[in-house]
Structure 1
Amino acid sequence: MKAIWKTLCAAALAAMTAIPVFAQDKTIKMGTMSWEDLTPITGITKKVLEDKGYKVEVTTFAEWGIAYAALTKGDVQLLASQVDYVAQDYWEKNNRRLEKISPVSHGLFDGIAVPDYVTITSVEELNDNADKFGGKIIGIEPGAGIMRETAHVVDEYGLKLQLVEGSTAAMTAAVKSAVDRQEWIAVTVWQPMWMMPKFNMRFLEDPKGAFPPPQTYYWIAQKGFAEADPFARETIASVYVPIEEISKINVAVADGKTMDQAVADWIAAHGDLIARWENNKAE
């Protein structure tokens, strides 16, 4: 009888340990910014977690300060962020209560860009060709971080071109008009942005390093998240979205798709990659 009882207990224990962690009813509260670089990262990671059995609730924020406050308070558990640049101040202020989970993309970059048919390759060549650019670098909204950086670049290189304030919409319209006419134009722009692949644009070289270097996106969480749920941590760490793919998703949005549809279509077209992520060692 005792032997039978031991056998039954062993079988029950084996059955329990065979049940994966994700079979439990688990919810992950994920934060995101309402921006064209972070929304695709969030949507793709959400899909992978859901395929692993998690319920994912997404909260969208418009400001880094509010997003980091929500993360430190526990209103959300995860947030994709650049910790060395765009949100550096918020990370440094709160990082004792937070932890990096994993890098999820790399290549966030601001710079001065031109269409491919423009023959110069460096910021240093702008002055010698100022007339071809109408004496202007077309910018976006005043107060934007990229405008401050570009103003610094103008000073650093002693550029004679005027940095023109405006809006993102006006800048993109100016690029389309110039490309249609094969005219020279220089603009402030960032990677990933749909305009770069859409209009075959490239960044001018910055030999003085006046613009910040390319930055990495990380998933960050409340401290203790990885220890509390190592399966979720490993699942999240399996996801890596190249910056060029984020740009492609945003081109689809610029062409008329909703962000949700563009992300869903990207996931459908990359089933093999998603499967590799989902079959990582977290299994």
Structure 2
Amino acid sequence: MNHLKKCLASLALSLGLAVSSAAAQEAQKIKMGVMQWETIAMTSSVTEHLLERHGFEVEEVEFQEWGVAFAALGKGDVDVLISHPDYAAADYWERNARKLEKLSVASYGYNAGLIVPSYVTINSIDELNEHKEKFRGRIIGVEPGSGMMRQSENVVNEYGLEYEIIEGSGPVAVAELKSALDRGEWIVSMYWTPSWVFQEFDIKFLKDPKGVQEPTETYVWLAHKGFAVQNPKAREVIASVFVPESALTQMTGWVKEGASIDEAVARWEKANANRLDRQAMIGNQ
């Protein structure tokens, strides 16, 4: 019995030393992958600033494509990044899941779908064919090959819509929308939230009774496998950050007015200093 007690005590001491050693060896430099979407860059920036307040050095690595970003995360070339692993980036998540882990929710409210002015009297995609003439049989699109264009093509096929999707870009879609609103015309286009567009214009999403479009999505902090155990304080700080959809909409509005992303984030952080100070207390207890 005494021998068993000694073994257990020795094991507990070993485990305690191992945990203390791991905590002591936590990396003070975090490589943060940042996909170059406005809202992701903003949420990443807020988290970066909080990590820096806790003494971490953060190096940003910019990405333009999800495939490249996920590959880098899986290889450990970056430590963390924000993505939408449950739908928009589900394919990339599934391909790399064994090398990755989910840390925490960073924000919620990403939506993408067909939009119309609020004065348009229909509310659902399945009503579009009845009013083809008023919409001139066109859906104003964005960049060719984008996920939103593919989603809209699926919508056209699933609902049997007698419409042509017009390729363009985000700015072109907004210009067409503004022109139609100014003239009180009917227009159907595609866009996403969070975005200043919904703050600037009186528009609405069309309902999707068949569920063809992506559901409302969550922004999730992802990391390479083992990051949370190896970096408990960094993980705790990251998990303390949540940037609401309303904040992202407000910041994208400031960018539209001419502010840089860094300036918009700084303005929002100044206005929410008390909230951020409370978040900064995480990990200092």
TM-score range, shorter chain: 0.7 to 0.9
> 2:38, 2:129 → 1: CA distance?
32
Letter in 1 for 2:42: P
Residue of structure 1 equivalent to 2:265: 263
The 8 Å contact of residues 105 and 217 in structure 1, kept in 2 or not, is answered as yes
**Local SS of the residue matching 1:131:** coil
Residue of structure 1 equivalent to 2:63: 61
> 1:275, 1:72 → 2: CA distance?
33
The 8 Å contact of residues 235 and 282 in structure 1, kept in 2 or not, is answered as no
Residue of structure 2 equivalent to 1:131: 133
> 1:245, 1:127 → 2: CA distance?
36
The CA RMSD measured in Å over matched residues stands at 1.9
> 1:234, 1:97 → 2: CA distance?
21
Q: How has the CA–CA distance of structure 1 residues 54 and 160 changed in structure 2, closer, same or farther, with 3 Å as cutoff?
A: same
**Local SS of the residue matching 2:132:** helix
Residue of structure 2 equivalent to 1:42: 44
The answer to which of 191-200 and 75-84 deviates more is 191-200
Residue of structure 1 equivalent to 2:95: 93
Letter in 2 for 1:239: V
> 1:273, 1:130 → 2: CA distance?
49
- Taking structure 1 as the reference length, the TM-score comes to 0.87
> 1:266, 1:132 → 2: CA distance?
41
> 2:87, 2:103 → 1: CA distance?
18
Letter in 1 for 2:48: K
Letter in 2 for 1:138: I
> 2:91, 2:211 → 1: CA distance?
21
Residues 54-90 of structure 1 deviation map (CA, whole Å, 9 limit, x = unaligned): 1111111111121122212222111111112222222
**Local SS of the residue matching 2:177:** helix
State percent identity of aligned pairs: 46
> 1:103, 1:143 → 2: CA distance?
28
| Count of equivalent residues | 262
C-alpha displacement at 1:131, in angstroms? 2.0
**Local SS of the residue matching 1:57:** strand
The 8 Å contact of residues 156 and 210 in structure 1, kept in 2 or not, is answered as yes
The question of 1:102 aligning with 2:87 is answered no
Residue of structure 2 equivalent to 1:178: 180
- Taking structure 2 as the reference length, the TM-score comes to 0.86
Residues 127-183 of structure 1 deviation map (CA, whole Å, 9 limit, x = unaligned): 222222222111112211111111111122222222212222211110111122222
The question of 1:227 aligning with 2:235 is answered no
Residue of structure 2 equivalent to 1:239: 241
Where structure 2 has 5 or more consecutive residues not aligned to the other structure, the ranges are 1-22
Name which of 16, 25, 28 aligns with 1:26: 28
Name which of 213, 217, 222 aligns with 1:215: 217
> 1:41, 1:184 → 2: CA distance?
35
C-alpha displacement at 1:25, in angstroms? 8.2
Residues 82-141 of structure 1 deviation map (CA, whole Å, 9 limit, x = unaligned): 112222222112111111110111222211011222222111221222222222111112
Letter in 1 for 2:210: K
Name which of 66, 83, 86 aligns with 1:81: 83
C-alpha displacement at 1:281, in angstroms? 6.0
The 8 Å contact of residues 106 and 243 in structure 1, kept in 2 or not, is answered as yes
The 8 Å contact of residues 138 and 165 in structure 1, kept in 2 or not, is answered as yes
Residue of structure 2 equivalent to 1:3: none
Residue of structure 1 equivalent to 2:16: none
Where structure 1 has 5 or more consecutive residues not aligned to the other structure, the ranges are 1-20
The 8 Å contact of residues 234 and 282 in structure 1, kept in 2 or not, is answered as no
The 8 Å contact of residues 36 and 193 in structure 1, kept in 2 or not, is answered as no
Residue of structure 1 equivalent to 2:153: 151
Name which of 268, 271, 274 aligns with 1:272: 274
Letter in 1 for 2:282: N
> 1:119, 1:269 → 2: CA distance?
39
Residue of structure 2 equivalent to 1:118: 120
> 1:161, 1:282 → 2: CA distance?
57
The 8 Å contact of residues 233 and 283 in structure 2, kept in 1 or not, is answered as no
Letter in 1 for 2:190: T
**Local SS of the residue matching 1:263:** helix
**Local SS of the residue matching 1:56:** strand
The question of 1:203 aligning with 2:205 is answered yes
Residues 241-263 of structure 1 deviation map (CA, whole Å, 9 limit, x = unaligned): 12232122111111111111011
Q: How has the CA–CA distance of structure 1 residues 282 and 220 changed in structure 2, closer, same or farther, with 3 Å as cutoff?
A: farther
**Local SS of the residue matching 2:43:** helix
